[in-house]
Structure 1
């Protein structure tokens, strides 16, 4: 990490590195200057070091994130990670190939010594205009690598240098320079006691979600399919057991008793007031940490889903029945679980005993959306219109999950049902 003089210090150190290199490789004096390539080629052998572009380092630019807490307190000093792009140009007598000899010296030096030595940085900082630079104390050294530049890129670069003729040149990238902010981060609070706890963990994984009647004996085998009221969930998978396990069901967190959780199975109670529909389920593992020990959530399982199936309870009421050949009325249904006001409800009517030779009549009616305020969240009133006056099997579908029908001893559906052909 360095202050605002870091970029200028890198440029001066690079200039010194090149100057020391060419002094050993050529028998004549060479002027090495950190300037833009001149509009008039110099008469004496010259090397120019020109910083033509500065870009954010894509890999390191967010290494210091986050720098502040939610209330704005500074945690770490912000640092901008930058890459420096240099154009190194060479001038000299073309008949003696001076420019090419200088180029070879620079290539050899930067390939052999691509990282700026601390001694050169200290020498650069001795310049009066760089007093106060702390680049030499930075833990990461700036490394130079040659940049690949084709004819088109070179043409664009030199076209930006107005009225400057092209000279034999190289481009190098210096990676990376960190420039720190001025503000000091808030010092940490004193630590009274340190506790370290190492716990082997394994990501819990739910493979299947089954259900069975709540309070079933341990040997009762759960089944697949929609989950009716009065059933508990049985999650099966791997790595389910932990010191403390909770289930997140439909956005609610439900602690699980230790005797209900095994490594391959967890029994989850479904809240009685959970509405019908499709709900996600996750298992959460907690670890007790700190003094006093408090639970911290450590691992979450994958999200599995189950369908909570509504059921129709009691007789179905009929209000305002009218018509001889066709019936228009309001059906009153009581469910075994409450409904939210924002749920979509569909009433399904299927003729119970159609006469031979005639196709069974079937109707569907949608409840108003939203359902609105209701004194009893388990009661529904749905209007029907122009229905054949016969007996119907009745189902209600909530958010895509339909209620079930009961069977007679003969193996046919027999309820819930409503007879719209009864004498008024």
Structure 2
């Protein structure tokens, strides 16, 4: 983690590292070799090397650090960081007749291969020399030497075509013998300060054995409803580890004690409970969880005797919880009737179908009535989807147990009726006819 001078510090350290290697190379002294950090188009042909930062890219592994984390009040907990990779073009110049560029390249590659990491000592040495000059004294404010994340230099390879484009299009200058290196990773701190947690004055650590609790299926227990799950009915959870008397049922993530359903019975592989009667039709989630062991007010009653299984308080943390499962709570129709049915000019009928529904439907839900033809005279007639009359909920929209569905130009006959609320359809009913048929149904007119 470093301040905004980190990028310049990496370039300066790389220059200092190469300059030191050229001047101390006993096997092949290169007297007068210099290292610059210019655009290659501005570099003369004097013996030496040029270090040019030609590209900056986000680091693929750490780019998500750019997002800060905040607490529930919006205060910054962890400030954002910019994670960068620096792409360098190192070019070599000199007398080609005595292979000076190639000799310089050999020294540079050997040095960077032997010292691929910019150590704190090398960085600190570079910054000390820069801080001693009035021109570059500002570099003394760099804190790259104290960064936990070390900068690593890796040789990069590009194709001949990419190299050609780099020199002819990007740099627009004559090619010089070069190598490419990537410096990674440079973390730039945000000036925004994060908050720190209060110190821990006392630890209260305890260890409790964990039991494997898992849910496999949610099933209805009402045979007459063909297994459909409806408000106020008993529901069974099938799974493993459900026999613990501390386990409570959690609906839609609501852990409040007042919202915990009543548990009827429990066994190791199943748990039966009663759904609240005021639960809205549609999709819901269910899981089981236990309160913190030893918490004040924890229930120890046996599930077999009808224990509620409720949490001792709404703020109790859970140490054991199962995977969540989803289920559809289906609406039920108690009465179905027609109002204001009148024939139209083409021999069909218009009017309103009124349905009494349990549980109450609200104006925020999507409600439709589905009609499927049953009469022989309606053979080949497609099913009908009737939209809800919004006035059923009043103004402003509230909730209602009676819903009106207007229809227009509908052929006369008997129709099977289904109610759909937020994607959940009412269960079918077996009518006492001979032979038995599926209902409920409505006759028009």
Query: How many Å apart are 1:212 and its aligned residue?
Result: 1.9
Secondary structure of the residue aligned to 1:139 is: coil
Q: Deviations over 1:111-134 (max 9, x none)?
A: 222112332222101123232332
In the alignment, structure 1 residue 103 sits paired with structure 2 residue 89: no
* Aligned residue in 1 for 2:20: 20
Query: How many Å apart are 1:164 and its aligned residue?
Result: 3.4
Contact 1:310–1:398, Cα closer than 8 Å, also in 2: no
In the alignment, structure 1 residue 247 sits paired with structure 2 residue 228: no
Query: How many Å apart are 1:378 and its aligned residue?
Result: 2.8
* Aligned residue in 2 for 1:158: 167
User: Residues 291 and 192 (structure 1 numbering): CA distance in 2 closer, same or farther, change over 3 Å?
Assistant: farther
In the alignment, structure 1 residue 206 sits paired with structure 2 residue 215: yes
* 2:62 aligned residue (60, 76, 101): 60
* Aligned residue in 1 for 2:393: 373
Query: How many Å apart are 1:151 and its aligned residue?
Result: 1.8
Aligned-partner Cα distance in 2 for 1:260–1:17 = 75
Q: Deviations over 1:292-326 (max 9, x none)?
A: 8942367562433235251435xx65655678x98
Query: How many Å apart are 1:281 and its aligned residue?
Result: 2.8
* Aligned residue in 1 for 2:45: 42
Secondary structure of the residue aligned to 2:393 is: coil
* Aligned residue in 1 for 2:306: none
Contact 1:11–1:34, Cα closer than 8 Å, also in 2: no
Normalised by the length of structure 1, the TM-score is 0.76
In the alignment, structure 1 residue 412 sits paired with structure 2 residue 436: yes
User: Residues 224 and 247 (structure 1 numbering): CA distance in 2 closer, same or farther, change over 3 Å?
Assistant: farther
Contact 1:346–1:397, Cα closer than 8 Å, also in 2: yes
Question: More deviation in 198-207 or 174-183?
Answer: 198-207
* Aligned residue in 2 for 1:139: 148
- For structure 1, the 5+ residue unaligned runs are 214-220
* Aligned residue in 2 for 1:2: 2
User: Residues 80 and 305 (structure 1 numbering): CA distance in 2 closer, same or farther, change over 3 Å?
Assistant: same
Contact 2:361–2:399, Cα closer than 8 Å, also in 1: no
* Aligned residue in 2 for 1:345: 369
Aligned CA-pair RMSD: 4.2
Give the paired residue count: 403
Secondary structure of the residue aligned to 2:360 is: coil
Secondary structure of the residue aligned to 2:284 is: strand
* Aligned residue in 2 for 1:170: 179
* Aligned residue in 2 for 1:69: 71
Q: Deviations over 1:231-283 (max 9, x none)?
A: 2111212355775533325999742457745553232322223355x423321
Aligned-partner Cα distance in 1 for 2:380–2:69 = 68
Q: Deviations over 1:19-71 (max 9, x none)?
A: 2323324123142323223646434x312222222222221233374344344
* 1:296 aligned residue (313, 317, 325): 317
Aligned-partner Cα distance in 2 for 1:28–1:328 = 101
* Aligned residue in 2 for 1:271: 276
Secondary structure of the residue aligned to 1:59 is: coil
Aligned-partner Cα distance in 2 for 1:257–1:173 = 63
Secondary structure of the residue aligned to 2:276 is: coil
Contact 2:262–2:273, Cα closer than 8 Å, also in 1: no
Normalised by the length of structure 2, the TM-score is 0.73
- For structure 2, the 5+ residue unaligned runs are 297-312
* Aligned residue in 2 for 1:218: none
User: Residues 269 and 252 (structure 1 numbering): CA distance in 2 closer, same or farther, change over 3 Å?
Assistant: farther
Contact 2:392–2:403, Cα closer than 8 Å, also in 1: no
Q: Deviations over 1:2-24 (max 9, x none)?
A: 22332222222222222232332
Query: How many Å apart are 1:138 and its aligned residue?
Result: 1.5
Secondary structure of the residue aligned to 1:164 is: coil
* Aligned residue in 2 for 1:216: none
* Aligned residue in 2 for 1:401: 425
